[in-house]
Structure 1
Amino acid sequence: MTIYNLGSINADLVYRVPHLPGPGETLASTSHSRGLGGKGANMSVAAARAGSHVAHIGAVGADGAWAVERLLEYGVDTRGIAVVGVPTGHAVIAVDDAGENLILLCAGANMSVGEADIALALKDAGPQDTFLFQNETNAGPFAAQQASALGLRVAHVAAPFDAAAVAQVLPLLDLLVLNEVEAAQLVAATGVALPDLPVRDIVVTLGAEGCRWHDTDTGTTREFAALPVTPVDTTGAGDTFTGYLLAGLDRGMPMAQAIGLAQRAAAIMVTRHGAADVIPDMKDVAESRFA
């Protein structure tokens, strides 16, 4: 079974700061680093480190060979990544001493994924596979339609949030993952409560409060408390959660068990500085201990 992920690939430019800057504030950073990032790349690495076969679909510029090589090193199938005539996407990330972050995105090549490349990447996919996409690339609706027609489980992470974009793909989705703010915005935009949306499973991440799962088939909602950790950097935690969640489902875990696995991985992630390069593997998760 394969998780096909149409997702962004970014160079993460990370600056450590004493506090997140306010409007008009000039702030000196205490350190700087470059790493692999992008919601798509993070999720691909997380799912691969959780033991799934992951095929990434995306685009980089001529300056992005290092990012593709890094994904390959982490066990991701990179044959679906095209090289286009636009610079690789990047993110400027400020992380404060409490572990909170501020992120500025430049999409770059992430908005130049070709429909023909997507169709080619999915040509061998079938009902045993999963298709994942976010809102950091172009062609999401096209790819979701292709995947749905092929019988794949279609999962969407509604970030960065765009109510119209999410509403467009709702009828194609089997799984929707979004945070509490995005969930409220979606309800306000559609006028429909989450349990009444045409999506079988909806997972709402609640940060330090854990997460909530709406099973719309049964009409039930279940709360999952967060694991007790002291965060140092929340960058990539939600992406790690989603990658592990889909990997668990790909392995045949029930949703509740897959959520538990994902929470353990995300809890480890917030204790580390960085994004894709520090996502925990299954050994880390298996050996983790929480009070």
Structure 2
Amino acid sequence: MAIWNLGSINADMVYAMPHLPAAGETLAASSLDRFLGGKGANMSVAAVRAGSEVHHIGAVGPDGHWAVERLQSYGVGIEHVTQINTPTGHAIIAVEPDGENQIILFPGSNRALSQEQLKQALSKAKPDDILVMQNETSLQAEAAQLGRQLGLRVCYAAAPFDADAVQAVLPFLDFLILNEVEAAQLEQAIGKPPGAIGVRDVIITLGAKGARHIDGDTGTTQEVPALPVTAVDTTGAGDTFTGYVLASLDQGLAMEKAMATASRAAALMVTRHGTADVIPELTEVQGARF
């Protein structure tokens, strides 16, 4: 099987800061790094490094050739990544010493995908392949509906969170991943807890407390604890978790095992500075000691 990712591609400009800037504050950074990023690119790289075949559906501007080359060098399928005239998306990320971050996001070409591009890409997918989306591109609802029609396992990572965007894709979802704050926001918006929204599988990530899976059919829950590490940068950890979960499920692992593997990958990720470029390989995840 394979994973099809309608996903963002960004240049992540990461500034190391003594603390996160307050409103009106001018603050000097101690370093600057440019990484391949975007929630979509992060998930594609994570899923490839977890051992799955991944096809990325996205767009970059004239300034984004380097990002496509880097995706390809990591093993991600880039035949459905298009170059257009809109500038490539980018993120300005401030990271303080304890790993907390603050992000300014410019969507750019990620919001300029075409219906034709989407249809052409998913025409190559096979039933039971996985389709994943995040709220950083155009055509999310259209992709979810088409994925359902084609018999794909449709997954939505609900970030950056927007209640309307989630509700637009809900009727077509098999799998929803969101964090604890987003879960509360969704419940407030629709008046139902995550386990009662009609989605077969829901994962709520809980940060340092781990992650919870809710079976939408039975209402049963299972939790996987987080691993004890010292975080230096939490950027991309949730995307790493999602990519590893999906790849593990794609390879036939049970949900509990998939979440445990993803938790290990995310734990390693927060010990590193960067985004897609530093996502751990499966051999590192399997061999890590915590």
Q: TM-score, normalized by length of structure 2?
A: 0.99
Q: Deviations over 1:178-228 (max 9, x none)?
A: 001100000000001111111001000011111111111121011221111
CA distance in 2, matches of 1:24, 1:130: 44
Give the match's secondary structure for 1:4.
Answer: strand
Partner residue, 1:238: 238
- Give the drift of 1:128: 2.6
Question: Once structures 1 and 2 are overlaid, which stretch shifts more, 217-226 or 201-210?
Answer: 217-226
Q: Deviations over 1:134-178 (max 9, x none)?
A: 000000111111111000000000001110110111110011000
| Structure 1 residue 199 corresponds to structure 2 residue 180 | no
| Structure 1 residue 256 corresponds to structure 2 residue 256 | yes
- Give the drift of 1:286: 1.4
CA distance in 1, matches of 2:211, 2:283: 24
Q: Percent identity?
A: 60
Partner residue, 1:273: 273
| Structure 1 residue 144 corresponds to structure 2 residue 163 | no
Give the match's secondary structure for 2:63.
Answer: helix
CA distance in 2, matches of 1:222, 1:164: 28
Question: Once structures 1 and 2 are overlaid, which stretch shifts more, 118-127 or 79-88?
Answer: 118-127
Partner residue, 1:12: 12
- Say what the alpha-carbon RMSD is for the aligned residues: 0.6
Give the match's secondary structure for 2:36.
Answer: strand
Partner residue, 2:210: 210
CA distance in 2, matches of 1:87, 1:171: 32
Partner residue, 2:154: 154
Partner residue, 1:224: 224
CA distance in 1, matches of 2:37, 2:90: 8
- Give the drift of 1:20: 0.6
Question: Once structures 1 and 2 are overlaid, which stretch shifts more, 12-21 or 122-131?
Answer: 122-131
Letter matched to residue 13 of structure 2: L
CA distance in 2, matches of 1:33, 1:84: 25
Letter matched to residue 86 of structure 1: T
CA distance in 2, matches of 1:8, 1:153: 20
Q: Deviations over 1:21-50 (max 9, x none)?
A: 111111100000111000000000000000
Letter matched to residue 79 of structure 1: E
Give the match's secondary structure for 2:56.
Answer: strand
**Number of aligned residue pairs:** 290
Question: Once structures 1 and 2 are overlaid, which stretch shifts more, 221-230 or 237-246?
Answer: 221-230
CA distance in 1, matches of 2:276, 2:59: 17
CA distance in 2, matches of 1:185, 1:135: 15
Partner residue, 1:93: 93
Aligned structure 1 segments of 4 or more residues deviating by more than 3 angstroms: none
- Give the drift of 1:126: 2.0
Give the match's secondary structure for 1:177.
Answer: strand
Where do 5+ consecutive residues of structure 2 fail to align? none
CA distance in 1, matches of 2:163, 2:225: 27
Give the match's secondary structure for 2:226.
Answer: coil
CA distance in 2, matches of 1:124, 1:71: 20
Letter matched to residue 40 of structure 1: G
